[in-house]
Amino acid sequence: DENRRPVRESERKTVGRRKMYTNKLRQVVSKKKRRYQANGFDLDLTYITDNVIAMGYPSEKLEGMYRNPMNEVQRFLGELHGSNFKVYNLCSERRYDHKKFNGRVCEYPFDDHNPCPLSMITTFCEDVHAWLEANTENVAVIHCKAGKD
């Protein structure tokens, strides 16, 4: 874009430092949990199998500084899985607009650090199974509020 001013070196360094500090903060919050640190990403996320991902809640604003930033989760899924992902939100305490993941979100809410209702297990498993069976490239992305506990 010709109307854009060039980014100054000092601004570039400030953005780089900010990213370094927020990544360090996310690592502290994650404690000793495994993080996905590849392809330019640093997320509270891990592959359970080739097509099942467990991750922390995709957050925005201030919370995105110490949890998974929504925009980075969107970028990760788009770059690595295209349209072959479906997000399963298990968090009863909060929701986000399903449009953030192109409508590919299912909710099976229950309170964090509590077992889900037994009646929900079969429905959830059938949903994930149907999604994964529909296409060998499909990936189920499952999260709660706190992360991959």
Tens digit of each residue's pLDDT (9 = 90 or more) over 36-84: 888 888 898 999 999 999 999 998 876 656 778 999 999 999 999 999 9
Supply the pLDDT for residue 46: 92
Structure tokens at 123: 């429905």
Structure tokens at 46: 């891990």
pLDDT at 20 over 70: no
Amino acid letter, 88: Y
Contacts of range 99-104, beta carbons closer than 8 Å, 24 or more positions apart: 100/58, 100/70, 100/74, 101/74, 101/77
Task: Give residue 19's pLDDT band: very low, low, confident or very high (50, 70, 90).
Answer: low
Identify the bridge partners of residue 139 per DSSP, sorted by sequence position: 85
Q: Which residue has the higher pLDDT, 19 or 38?
A: 38
Supply the pLDDT for residue 21: 46
Tens digit of each residue's pLDDT (9 = 90 or more) over 28-42: 445 556 778 888 888
Task: Show Cβ contacts of residue 15 under 8 Å, excluding neighbours closer than 6 positions.
Answer: none
DSSP-based three-state secondary structure for 54:
strand
Per the annotation, the verdict on 144 as an active-site residue is yes
pLDDT at 26 over 90: no
Supply the pLDDT for residue 60: 81
**What share of the chain has pLDDT > 70, as a percent?**
72
Amino acid letter, 52: V
Q: Of 91, 116, 125, 144, which is the active-site residue? A: 144
Tens digit of each residue's pLDDT (9 = 90 or more) over 89-110: 999 988 999 999 999 999 999 9
Residue 88 parent element (H or E): strand 85-91
Q: For the beta carbon of residue 136, count every other beta carbon within 10 angstroms.
A: 9
